[in-house]
Amino acid sequence: MKNALILLKTLLLSTSRRNIIKYSTDKKKKKRARGGQVGVAVIFVMIMAYSIVACVGYGRYGMAASIPALCAVLLSGLAFFFTFFSTNGYLFNFKEYDMLMSLPIEDSMVAACKFMYMYIKSLPWYLSISLSMLIGYAIFAHPGILICVLWVILSLILPIIPMLAASFLGFLVARVSAGFKKTNIIQTVLTMVFVILCFFSRFFVEALFENGKAQATLTNASEATERFTGVYLPAGWFAEAVTKGSISSTLLLTGVTILLFALVFRFVGRSYRNINSALKNHAAAKSYKMSAVKKKSLLWTIAYKEFKRLTGSTPYMVNGAMGEILALVLGVATLVVGFDRIVAMVTDNAPFDPGILTPAIPFIIYFFIGMMATTTCSPSLEGKNYWILQSMPIEKKTIWQGKMLFNLCLTVPVSVVSTLCMCISAKVSPVDTLLFVILGIALCFFSTTWGCVCGVKHMRLDWENEVEVIKQGAGVTIYLLPNMFVVMGLTVLVVILGMKVSVELMTLLFILIASVLAAVSYLWVLSLAKSENAPKKMK
């Protein structure tokens, strides 16, 4: 137990910005760490403001009683997904595996410490949501001080069960993958299948409720949330504990969490070394026979290197290609099921003409494709290998151009195929289809170049774990937030304008805007390649 605490303390210290600010002799690194602290603080404020506003909305419509359930569902969902995507890299297949496993610390203890590390690191995010929602709840429900204390304490416990579930699922994926020769590919495929199943499970769940003639209960989000707490018991226990001050619910949530923690890590600990051995070691086939080798241009060489980087890493593949897969699945599903039916399913049979959504097709597709551009993290992913490119006679701009070329190769074909599928299904005219395809391509160019601006400006090479730059990198966050809000805003704008202005004219206008934005971003990348902003060397 003592060693577990020492290890946990060291794991936290080894990734703390405070340690960098205190001990680093690299001024740029210190500056980046301070900047990171400010960035994180801004995001905290945004999340808290959003959570409070959401609760005020609930309160104004007389649904304050549902806020605890909403909080529980939100925290559980976030904890589950963030943990699932971080399992590979933090819990399994981590960099310092050899060093840690050679120390006299039990395998199950190492696994549990890694889990607790993930928990403590993500806890401030969950607390920022939970405490803000408590404030929102307090404004309308005026709970007693005891309830507030209970809320805070249970907020610390609530994320653990979904995190354990996600870790266990990650363990199963790793366990199954470990049995195959191409462990990395199997792990990537299994993870992607799981995410796609989760994404589309909403429709199955709805169908399930419809069969039970419970459609009426799903007429608003509040009732849906309440219903979820009946299915996912820990969320229900939390809601009951903080609304009724239920001691039994409090004890149940705490007791089950402790029990599951002990069970999961007893189980995981048994195969921990076996799984990591399989994930970290691969046989050299030694079967290559020298044959003709093809020459590629410099740009295509860099793009191909990016392709191999993407396919060689499960976290990168899952994050980098998931949007494209979802867009493709949606496009093909629309073609098979029909545009009108898909719209009806997504909008719960809302009474409107699905035709008004057709001008938004390029944005719907882009919503998925633009979720992540590989250019946001690929400069950082060079990590300690950056010297290879740096020591070669390649201009910086060529490196970034190669990375952009790869993202375009990944996104443009998917955008074209998915848009075509949707347009055919929605019976869009050939001229509009052509314009939508061009708009989709222009958006891909924007995503690629804007992503590259973020990726190069916030390039970070000294990461311990690639998940740090793929999921939590400043480049990814800065790309994602404006991109997501702009796209959602534009989708609404397109639908509204589409009813008043000619669709062709409007689409042409958006093509122009997207192209200008892409051109500006591209020029920005070129200037970054020249300027001091692009790191010249790494320590």
Partner 1 sequence: MLEIKNYSKSYGEGKKAADNVNITVESGDIYGFIGHNGAGKSTTIRAVVGVLDFEEGEIFIDGHSVKKEPMECKRVTAYIPDNPDLYENLTGIQYLNFVADVFDIDEAERAQRIKKYGEAFEITSALGDQISSYSHGMKQKVAIISALIHEPKLMVLDEPFVGLDPKSTFTLKEIMRDMCNHGAAVFFSTHVLDVAEKLCNKVAIIKQGRIIASGTMEELTEGHSLEETFLEADQ
Binding residues (CB under 8 A) for partner 1: these are 2-3, 6-7, 10, 13-16, 19-20, 23-26, 29, 95-99, 101-107, 180-181, 273-274, 277-278, 281-284, 286, 462, 464, 539
Query: Exposure of 255 by Cβ count < 10 A (0-12 exposed, 13-18 middle, 19+ buried)?
Result: exposed
Which bin fits 447, alpha (ψ -120 to 50), beta or left (φ > 0)? alpha
Least distance (Å) from partner 1 to the CB of residue 179? 9
DSSP assignment, residue 24?
Answer: -
Helix or strand holding residue 248 (H, E): helix 247-280
Q: What span, in angstroms and rounded, lies between the C-alpha atoms of 4 and 115?
A: 11
Least distance (Å) from partner 1 to the CB of residue 246? 42
Least distance (Å) from partner 1 to the CB of residue 283? 3
Least distance (Å) from partner 1 to the CB of residue 391? 16
Q: Is residue 92 helix, strand or coil?
A: strand
Decide: 435 and 504 in contact? Cβ < 8 Å. Answer: yes
In sequence order, what are the residues at sequence separation of 6 or more whose Cβ sits closer than 8 angstroms to the Cβ of residue 257? 157, 160, 161, 164, 234
Cβ proximity to partner 1, 34 vs 95, nearer residue: 95
Specify the amino acid at residue 501: V
Least distance (Å) from partner 1 to the CB of residue 140? 44
CA 56, distance to chain mean position in Å, is 27
Least distance (Å) from partner 1 to the CB of residue 102? 4
Least distance (Å) from partner 1 to the CB of residue 373? 27
Q: What span, in angstroms and rounded, lies between the C-alpha atoms of 119 and 110?
A: 14
Q: What span, in angstroms and rounded, lies between the C-alpha atoms of 133 and 79?
A: 16
Cβ proximity to partner 1, 195 vs 275, nearer residue: 275
Q: What span, in angstroms and rounded, lies between the C-alpha atoms of 476 and 461?
A: 14
CA nearest neighbour of 238 among 55, 52, 75: 75
Least distance (Å) from partner 1 to the CB of residue 100? 9
In sequence order, what are the residues at sequence separation of 6 or more whose Cβ sits closer than 8 angstroms to the Cβ of residue 141? 59, 64, 65, 67
- Evaluate the CA torsion angle 491, 493, 497, 502 in order and state its sign: negative
Q: How many residues does the chain have?
A: 539
